[in-house]
């Protein structure tokens, strides 16, 4: 419980980070997909609408990473990212536990907040609480797609964040991948990579179709990425669990920058 007393600000920041991401996802999707929305009526091409949603969510992710809160907590906003860094030995057990709890709570609160204000709009089938479900290509394709995109973003985070000349741009790389994945991959699985994000939407929509995919494929994908990185670079090459470390905010992780 000492961790909770000392590090609760970081836990709250992680909850707020995913909460903000969920609010952004629901609002942007409703504006572009709800049948009564002027934007939906103006932009008839679904690929273009997905691209705009992707850009908006990529920018949201970037803003969270480079915000004061993101700089302090590390801006994981995803239980699987936290779990992977724990497996890499960069996060202590209780910090990882409270990060994950906070992320699930934050996702739920973010969706609940929008639902209180705008329930009719986000409950419309065209929005449906931005629930993530397999596309028309089926469960197998959705699982593989989630695994691949999770592998890709975690491997990118590990490589970029541990290259001194590029480390400060990790958030930009992650945001670019989020935007690309939403544009290209969303029709296959809904583009989650994040069980806390998926659970929040599933509870709101009361839709549980193949939810196991979003609790297994991201974990497998990110752990495989971590294993590959360690085999290529060695475990000591992972310096810290923050996506943006070069700032004056405190670091609660097993940090390779400490003392330098």
Q: What is the pLDDT of residues 117-141, one digit of tens each?
A: 999 999 999 999 999 999 999 999 9
The residue written with tokens 């920041």 in the block is 13
Task: Give the per-residue pLDDT at 207.
Answer: 96
Residues 212, 143: Cα–Cα separation, whole Å: 9
CA 40 → CA 34, 163, 183, 239, distances in Å? Answer: 6, 42, 16, 44
Straight-line distance from the first to the last Cα atom of the chain, in angstroms, rounded to the nearest whole number? 29
The fraction of the chain above a pLDDT of 90, given in percent, is: 93
Query: How much is the pTM?
Result: 0.95
φ/ψ of 99, rounded to 5, equals -60, -45
Lowest mean pLDDT among 1-5, 90-94, 179-183: 1-5
Q: Per CATH, is 2-237 categorized as 3.40.50.300?
A: no
């Amino acid at each position: 419980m000492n961790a909770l007393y000392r590090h609760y600000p970081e836990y709250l920041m992680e909850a707020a980070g995913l909460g903000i991401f969920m609010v952004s996802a629901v609002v942007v999707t409703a504006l572009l997909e709800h049948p009564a929305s002027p934007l939906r009526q103006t932009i008839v091409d679904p690929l273009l609408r997905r691209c705009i949603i992707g850009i908006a969510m990529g920018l949201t992710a970037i803003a969270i990473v480079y915000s004061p809160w993101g700089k302090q907590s590390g801006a994981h906003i995803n239980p699987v990212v936290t779990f992977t860094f724990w497996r890499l030995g960069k996060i202590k057990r209780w910090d990882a536990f409270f990060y994950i709890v906070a992320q699930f709570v934050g996702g739920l609160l973010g969706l609940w907040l929008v639902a209180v204000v705008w329930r009719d709009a986000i409950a419309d089938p065209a929005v449906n609480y931005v629930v993530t479900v397999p596309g028309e290509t089926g469960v197998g394709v959705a699982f593989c797609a989630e695994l691949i995109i999770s592998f890709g973003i975690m491997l990118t985070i590990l490589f970029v964040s541990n290259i001194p000349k590029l480390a400060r741009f990790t958030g930009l790389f992650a945001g670019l991948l989020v935007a690309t994945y939403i544009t290209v991959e969303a029709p296959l699985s809904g583009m989650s990579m994040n069980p806390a994000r998926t659970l929040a939407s599933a509870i709101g929509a009361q839709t549980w179709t193949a939810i196991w995919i979003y609790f297994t494929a991201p974990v497998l994908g990110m752990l495989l990425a971590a294993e590959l990185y360690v085999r290529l670079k060695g475990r000591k090459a992972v310096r810290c669990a923050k996506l943006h470390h070069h700032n004056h905010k405190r670091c609660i992780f097993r940090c390779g920058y400490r003392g330098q």
